[in-house]
């Protein structure tokens, strides 16, 4: 198989697979995005507070 035939087959296969994809609706995408942002912010707050508490404890010890 020549290079151009392989490239053509690749894009053909990609096109076939992309037609099988079930894309989310706008509302599903919006709600998922909000969930990811909120959980990321909660994780940031948790890590920051844990770091601050542990740093304070270590300052008292040393």
Domains of the chain, residue spans: 33-62
pLDDT for the residue numbered 19: 92
pLDDT exceeds cutoff 70 at 1: no
Contact 32, 24 (CB under 8 A): yes
Task: Write out pLDDT tens, residues 2-26.
Answer: 899 999 999 999 999 999 999 999 9
Contact 12, 4 (CB under 8 A): no
- Distance between CA atoms of residues 10 and 5, nearest Å: 8
Gyration radius (Cα) of the chain, Å: 24
pTM score: 0.65
CA-CA-CA-CA dihedral for 21, 26, 31, 37, to nearest 10 = 90
Task: Write out pLDDT tens, residues 30-61.
Answer: 999 999 999 999 999 999 999 999 999 999 99
**Both tokens of residue 21?**
């994809």
Average pLDDT, the chain: 95
């Amino acid at each position: 198989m020549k290079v151009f035939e392989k490239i053509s087959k690749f894009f053909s296969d990609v096109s076939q697979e992309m037609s099988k994809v079930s894309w989310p609706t706008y509302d599903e995408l919006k709600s998922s995005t909000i969930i990811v942002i909120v959980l990321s912010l909660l994780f940031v707050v948790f890590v920051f507070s844990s770091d601050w508490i542990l740093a304070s404890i270590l300052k008292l010890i040393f």
